[in-house]
Amino acid sequence: MTITSLDARDEYTATGGQTVFNYTFKIYSATDLDIYITPVGQDADDAADITTAYTVDSATIGNEAGGFITLDSGASAGELVTIVSSMPYNRTVDYQNSGDFLPDTVNGDNDRQVSQIKQVSDVAGRSLVFPQAMQGAASLSLPTPDAGLYLAWKGDLSGVENVGAPGSVMPSSLNGTTVQMVADASLSAGDYIITTGYGSAGDGGDNLFYAQAVTGGTADGGSLIKGVGNPSIEFVGLFPSGKRNVKQWGAVGNDAANDTVAIQAAVDAGIADRKEIFFPSGDYLITGPIILDLSAMTTEGDARPNIRGEGRGTTDIHLSGAGAAIAVLGGVAGTAGSHGWLTISDLTLRGDSPVIASSRGLELDNLAYIEVENVAIYLFERGIQATDVLSSRFEKVGVRFCDEGATFEYVDMSRPNAITLSDCVFGACALFGINVVEPGVFNMYGGSIEGCGTALTPGDANGFGLRVINGGTESALSINIDGVYFEGNTGLHDVRITQTTKEAVATIKGCSFARIDNTNYTTYNVSFAPSNDSTLCLLGNGFTELGTYVANAARPYIETGGASGVWSITELGNRFNDQTTAPRNNVLADTSGIAQVRILFDGVGATVNAKNVTAAVTVHAPGDYTVTYAQSMRTISNQIQVTPVDGGTGPFCIGSVHSQTATSCRVQIRDSSSQALVATEGIMVTVHGDMTQGW
């Protein structure tokens, strides 16, 4: 005989009037199973659901594949019928010395043991167990039951214990709010109280409190609240979630009630307890700044409180007044308190319309290691004010409809070094997008700067997209702009880089620059004005005109006005939509860098399209030219590329460098079959090498 591997239980959902149900395990008597019937819509209850109103088919008792039972009356549709093996744990066979040892007896005895094992396995499989892969797990025992308490792991993880939970709950007639708890005269020291809200049930301010005798502690409306109904007690907030929810201090979040005091109290508690400060969904009206003062955190390892909402457009902090909606202060320069190590995320900071003077969305001071993620900031005089901030990251931050987008600057602790913006958007800011003063390294990857400076007129130096002044002050590299979209800005420039105190390198790569109408535009897309040995690299950018904007040679894409000293620009792989405003010798003063010239042979001489600063091209004979640079190279040996250009009527030509000096190179060309050149064939001559005088 064999025993099937099926479970020692069968589960059914009955049809209306059904009486017969199969069981698929072996039993040895009609009492070796239990039947449970759970009514529709009710929770399972072993004591209430068990039934004896059934019969077992006697012909199938002892059958290895099981049998069936018949209920005395038909089940109702949807009832849950559960059949479970319930064999007694005993032994019914006793073998005697020199007695019979019959196969049927032995097999029956072994089958019974296997059936009992399956029954135990079914019970164990419905119990809490440690994972098999877990090492060092010890057996557990439960503490003595205590009504109203709940189980939690001990601090050393050696077992579970009873921990504090409600000893009493607010009467339902009082609706269970924190406000009503305070007024309840029936509560006494030692009570645990669950509230269902702060001012009203379901308002998000629910909490768990412990009532204790009055101490000298200062009440803050959330962590500690003094009793009014019973003045001899006070209530300590236990915060089961671990977060400090601003609604647990009475913040309403309806954009009508003034939440300033409640939010500041929650923030202060979060700082003191080193816990996250949480803003549930809501529109929180404040009339003054919310300040996170981290100056007391002087130990590097101290936990810092994060600030989190439930998402942009879901959690909205509305400042109606001056100051900063959120101000994070790092404390004394040079202390560990300056190391913020905190994240601000998933919320909106909103000012008033019209914009209130001296209002700011986010203010950061004397801080390092700050992350700002998924935050929208709009309608402030200045969206972000970062003073003495370094090693910090801003990701998916949107600053719009402010007078000034963001300023990063040095006052007394640190230059804005290692500042990174990723996928950030600065748009429709009346004066400028981003102003960076004396950065070490400033990076902007992706995102856009659009429609900034529109309160000004074209050419106004106060209007710009991004301006960097004296980059590289604390490093060798000043600025990286990669994959940023610039469009529709107004003022003097989309990007302005000014170097007067230290040499630096700036890179603008893979960006798009577009001027879109003849009313609001920048005079220059990129302006580079060093007075020292600084370098600008322009790699793979696109410059174009959109909408009604008409290109004008007086408004070139690239400008070096005010540049002096020894500097250079490297320009590779950029696309300039309009050649009249593309970089040229007749547009740029004292410009050189990578000298580049396009020479088309017209059958007699050559048509010269001087691109990227070439002073002159001398035609010695058809296919024999000398290119003179606008400024002398630093070396007489430079890498020179001669690239064929096909005008569409003849084969590609080929070229070679005949000779070169520090001020010129001579190239000679012929067509690919060594035949005479024909009209519209030509070459592009590109000279790679640092110039003594910029681009």
pLDDT tens per residue, range 348-370: 999 999 999 999 999 999 988 99
Give the pLDDT of residue 650: 46
**How crowded is the C-beta side of 70, counted as CA atoms within 13 Å?**
5
Q: pLDDT tens, 481-501?
A: 999 999 999 999 999 998 888
pLDDT higher than threshold 90 for residue 156: no
pLDDT higher than threshold 50 for residue 611: no
Give the pLDDT of residue 591: 37
| pLDDT (average), residues 510-519 | 96
Give the pLDDT of residue 590: 35
**Three-state secondary structure along 105-140?**
HHHHHHHHHHHHHHHHHHHHCCCCCCCCCCCCCCCC
Give the pLDDT of residue 43: 84
Structure tokens at 118: 């399956």
Task: Please give the C-alpha separations between residue 387 and each of 14, 337, 413, 462, in angstroms, as whole numbers.
Answer: 71, 15, 9, 20
Dihedral pair phi/psi, residue 390, rounded to 5° = -145, 165
| pLDDT (average), residues 427-439 | 96
Tell me if 663 sits within 8 A of 636, measured CB to CB.
no
Q: Where are the domains of the chain?
A: 9-124, 172-237, 250-414, 455-583, 595-688
| pLDDT (average), residues 679-683 | 55
- Confidence label for 149 from pLDDT (cuts 50, 70 and 90): low
Task: Please give the C-alpha separations between residue 109 and each of 102, 103, 153, 579, in angstroms, as whole numbers.
Answer: 11, 10, 43, 99
Number of other CB atoms surrounding residue 526 within 10 Å: 28
Structure tokens at 574: 């950029």
**How crowded is the C-beta side of 147, counted as CA atoms within 13 Å?**
2
pLDDT higher than threshold 50 for residue 691: no
Give the pLDDT of residue 333: 57
pLDDT higher than threshold 70 for residue 596: no
DSSP 181: H
| pLDDT (average), residues 299-325 | 90
Task: Please give the C-alpha separations between residue 276 and each of 263, 267, 282, 382, in angstroms, as whole numbers.
Answer: 13, 9, 17, 26
Structure tokens at 252: 């309403």
More confident residue, 8 or 89: 8
What DSSP element (H or E) covers 556?
A: none
Q: pLDDT tens, 76-117?
A: 999 999 998 888 877 776 677 777 766 767 666 667 776 777
Give the pLDDT of residue 641: 61
Give the pLDDT of residue 139: 73
Structure tokens at 115: 């059936």
| pLDDT (average), residues 43-68 | 88
pLDDT higher than threshold 80 for residue 526: yes
Give the pLDDT of residue 603: 47
pLDDT higher than threshold 70 for residue 164: no
Give the pLDDT of residue 303: 73
Burial level of 327, CB count in 10 A (0-12/13-18/19+)? middle
Q: Mention every residue, 6+ apart, whose C-beta is less than 8 A from residue 567.
A: 499, 528, 530, 532, 533, 534, 535, 536, 693, 694, 695
Q: pLDDT tens, 318-327?
A: 999 999 999 9
pLDDT higher than threshold 50 for residue 125: yes
d(CA 550, CA 566): 34
Give the pLDDT of residue 577: 92
More confident residue, 687 or 621: 621
| pLDDT (average), residues 136-149 | 72
d(CA 586, CA 465): 26
pLDDT higher than threshold 80 for residue 122: no
Lowest mean pLDDT among 28-42, 285-299, 447-461, 679-693: 679-693
- Confidence label for 640 from pLDDT (cuts 50, 70 and 90): low
Give the pLDDT of residue 549: 95
| pLDDT (average), residues 171-182 | 74
pLDDT higher than threshold 90 for residue 246: yes
Give the pLDDT of residue 172: 46
More confident residue, 660 or 689: 660
pLDDT higher than threshold 90 for residue 312: yes
d(CA 241, CA 229): 27
pLDDT higher than threshold 90 for residue 135: no
pLDDT higher than threshold 90 for residue 7: no
pLDDT higher than threshold 60 for residue 415: yes
Tell me if 478 sits within 8 A of 507, measured CB to CB.
no
Give the pLDDT of residue 343: 94
Lowest mean pLDDT among 32-46, 324-338, 361-375, 639-653: 639-653
Q: pLDDT tens, 555-581?
A: 999 988 665 666 778 788 899 998 888
Average pLDDT value over all residues in the chain: 82
DSSP labels, 486-517? EES--EEEEEEEEESSS--EEEEES-EEEE--
Tell me if 284 sits within 8 A of 246, measured CB to CB.
yes
Helices (H), 165-291: 178-183, 260-273
- Percent of the chain at pLDDT > 70 equals 77
pLDDT higher than threshold 70 for residue 622: no
Give the pLDDT of residue 617: 76
Give the pLDDT of residue 692: 38
Structure tokens at 390: 């370094």
Give the pLDDT of residue 532: 76
